[in-house]
Amino acid sequence: MNFGGVIEEVMTREEFPLEKAREVLKNETIAVLGYGVQGPGQSCNLRDNGFNVIIGQRQGKTYEKAVADGWVPGETLFSIEEAAEKGTIVMCLLSDAAVMSVWPTLKQHLKAGDALYFSHGFAITWNDRTGCIPPDNIDVIMVAPKGSGTSLRTMFLEGRGLNSSYAVYQDYTGKALDRTLALGIGIGSGYLFETTFQREATSDLTGERGSLMGAIQGLLSAQYEVLRENGHTPSEAFNETVEELTQSLMPLFAEKGMDWMYANCSTTAQRGALDWMGPFHDAIKPVVEKLYSSVKSGHEAQISIDANSKPDYRIGLEKELKALHDSEMWRTAEVVRQLRPENN
């Protein structure tokens, strides 16, 4: 497929239909370890698509959520260790920190010919830091949905698909690629594009810290603060910074692209956007380059590993998240959302 003049191979549902995926995996037991961020969406989609799926999850609130979603203790819901032992495809959807903590036990349950599946390249890419070095007699594969597990599930129920990347790190059986593509179709991917564990991990960490979360929050808060410091009310500052972006412009952007969005705004907006996109690009690109270098070197991975290893990490994290939650901009957001017509 031609992407702006660059030819890239992608796999669509037409090329690898669900019926073929079912045939490839008909004798497999898919053990999904972890029922947190990606686990519910991927496992429920696989189950609804007719695959043999079991869950591995520790006792607690997340375990109870799995029960509420229809997974039956002793039949389709087990401990992490028992599920890993029963599975021929072990889908490791635990958090990066949890993967490191359970790896010494998990690797003991991986049998020759099994497939070890990830949805993030972190543990394998930086396995000199994580310790997750897979045995050489299994397949090691990845399908990484480009969005949250909640979005994956919601779009599946709407009859749509969330695009995913895929990679084969180790092909012991000779069927790793078919297993990977079948799982990608089974979890409800829109289309699948090839990557490597290293490229996925690097681009993912860059994106999270950049345009998807870190940079967008930094940009929004900077503009909101400047407007407030110059006498604009919270409502005006928020509407001009966030509400118009998310409710008016982003739908246009998502539908047909930024170029189309530009073409459908006022000439005043067009002129200003074209004049200022260059200065913003020039100011931001050095920051993105620094970020990418930090990710590629493994420095960002080490920061995450070190932070997650602290006994009081969760307490500190909650404190930082609460500060974000309690900021004026996001308290204003709560009021503005309530004032939307659909809420009145």
Q: CB neighbours (10 Å) of residue 293?
A: 12
* Residue-range domains of the chain with CATH: 2-196 (3.40.50.720), 207-343 (1.10.1040.10)
Residue 246 pLDDT greater than 80, yes or no: yes
Nearest to 190 by CA among 153, 165, 164: 164
Residue 187 near residue 41, CB atoms below 8 Å: yes
Q: How confident is the model at residue 12 (pLDDT cuts 50, 70, 90)?
A: very high
Q: What is the pLDDT of residues 263-273, one digit of tens each?
A: 988 999 999 99
SS (H, E, C) the chain: CEECCEECCEEECCCCCHHHHHHHCCCCCEEEECCCCCHHHHHHHHHHCCCCEEEECCCCHHHHHHHHCCCCECCCEECHHHHHHHCCEEEECCCHHHHHHHHHHHHHHCCCCCEEEECCCHHHHCHHHHCCCCCCCCEEEEEEECCCHHHHHHHHHCCCCEEEEEEEEECCCCCHHHHHHHHHHHCCEEEEEECCHHHHHHHHHHHHHCCCCHHHHHHHHHHHHHHHHCCCCHHHHHHHHHHHHHHHHHHHHHHHCHHHHHHCCCHHHHHHHHHHHHHHHHHHHHHHHHHHHHHHCCHHHHHHHHHHHCCCHHHHHHHHHHHHHCCHHHHHHHHHHHHCHHHC
Q: Quote the tokens at residue 97.
A: 């920190």
- Tokens 């901009």 locate to 329
- Tokens 């401990």 locate to 79
Query: What is the mean predicted confidence (pLDDT) over 46-73?
Result: 96
Q: How confident is the model at residue 177 (pLDDT cuts 50, 70, 90)?
A: very high
Confidence (pLDDT) at 184: 97
Query: What is the mean predicted confidence (pLDDT) over 307-324?
Result: 91
How far apart CA 120 and CA 304 sit, in angstroms, is 14
Among the listed residues 120, 232, 281, 325, the single catalytic one is 120
Confidence (pLDDT) at 162: 93
Residue 6 pLDDT greater than 80, yes or no: no
Residue 278 pLDDT greater than 80, yes or no: yes
- Tokens 């590993």 locate to 305
Query: What is the mean predicted confidence (pLDDT) over 45-63?
Result: 96
Nearest to 45 by CA among 155, 138, 141: 155
Q: Quote the tokens at residue 145.
A: 């949905």
Q: CB neighbours (10 Å) of residue 71?
A: 23
- Tokens 């229809």 locate to 70
Q: What is the pLDDT of residues 67-76, one digit of tens each?
A: 999 999 999 9
Confidence (pLDDT) at 105: 95
What mean pLDDT is reported for the chain?
A: 95
Residues in the chain: 344
Confidence (pLDDT) at 93: 96
Q: How confident is the model at residue 311 (pLDDT cuts 50, 70, 90)?
A: confident
Known catalytic membership, residue 120: yes
Q: How confident is the model at residue 341 (pLDDT cuts 50, 70, 90)?
A: confident
Q: What is the pLDDT of residues 20-29, one digit of tens each?
A: 999 999 999 9
Residue 2 pLDDT greater than 90, yes or no: no
pTM: 0.88
Query: What is the mean predicted confidence (pLDDT) over 314-329?
Result: 95
Q: Is the dihedral of CA 56, 50, 194, 6 positive or negative?
A: negative
Confidence (pLDDT) at 37: 87
Residue 233 pLDDT greater than 90, yes or no: yes
How far apart CA 12 and CA 190 sit, in angstroms, is 7
Query: What is the mean predicted confidence (pLDDT) over 273-297?
Result: 97
